[in-house]
Amino acid sequence: MTAGTVHPSIAVLERHLTLYRRLWRASVFSSFVLPVLFVVSIGIGVGGYVGSVGGVDYLSWIVPGVVASTAFQMAVGESTYSVLGDFKWVRAYHAMRATPVRPDHIVTGHLLYLLFRVTTAVLVFLLVVLFFGALHSPWAVTVPLVCALLTVASAAPVTAFAASIESDSHFSLLFRFVMIPATLFSGVFFPIEQLPALVRPVAYASPLWHAVELCRAATLGAAPPWPVAAHVGCLLLWAVAGTLLAAHRFRRRLED
């Protein structure tokens, strides 16, 4: 690569950002406004009836869960129709492959774009809840890093899945049986200790639960249920395995 040449992954990122510059208004409500409204209605409204969880007011307890689940839902949502569409309908990936851009560059550029989207939303969200007094520790500055890791851990395997199918009907199954249950049963709204013991291992396997616990520990200044290294290790495992699988699926689909 000669001096001054843009790395192929950055070129893919620039393509995504150019499209987003024209479409960003459509994502404002879901990415920024909706989570804030959710915190106000559930954290403050319902929290007035719930009281406290583990000695912490419900608003402070639920905020890190909502932050992590927002990152999770954005990562999954942006790795479904847009990925399949660029294969099947727009064929943008095929156009990229006709250039020196390799499949792994395409995957990396896609993940970099999601990191930009999620990190921006998380920073705005944290700034808003700061004024609600929901952040109790300087460790809260690590929340964007946790959400960035969660983004890759969630988006990469979904990207691989989207690159492996031909019909968008599969996404309804993904949303119904993966994304929604993961959001409901990963400690976002209530401690998973309230789940039946038989179901808890499912929550432990979810990257969202590990991110929720890390974010909650950071915003409250408390120790997570598992060692930090164990939570981070599980997220890294999802991220690395998912990214390798996504690159493999892109390579197979683009070279067939």
Give the domain extent around 17.
8-255
Question: Is 3 inside any structural domain?
Answer: no
Residues 59, 44: contact at Cβ < 8 Å?
yes
**What pLDDT, in 10s, does the model give residues 174-215?**
999 999 999 999 999 889 999 998 889 989 999 999 999 999
Question: Is 1 inside any structural domain?
Answer: no
- Report the chain's C-alpha Rg in angstroms: 19
Question: 67: closest CA among 117, 119, 114, 125?
Answer: 125
Q: How far is CA 11 from CA 79, 105, 182, 246, in A?
A: 18, 9, 33, 19
Task: Please report which confidence band the pLDDT of residue 3 belongs to, taking 50, 70 and 90 as the band edges.
Answer: very low
Question: Is 159 inside any structural domain?
Answer: yes
Q: What total number of domains does the chain contain?
A: 1
pLDDT exceeds cutoff 80 at 43: no
Q: What is the pLDDT of residue 2?
A: 45
**Rounded to the nearest 5°, which phi and psi values hold at 102?**
-90, 165
**Rounded to the nearest 5°, which phi and psi values hold at 90?**
-85, -35
Q: pTM to 2 decimals?
A: 0.92
Most distant pair of Cα atoms in the chain: their distance = 63
Cα 212 from Cα 64, distance rounded (Å): 6
Question: Is 180 inside any structural domain?
Answer: yes
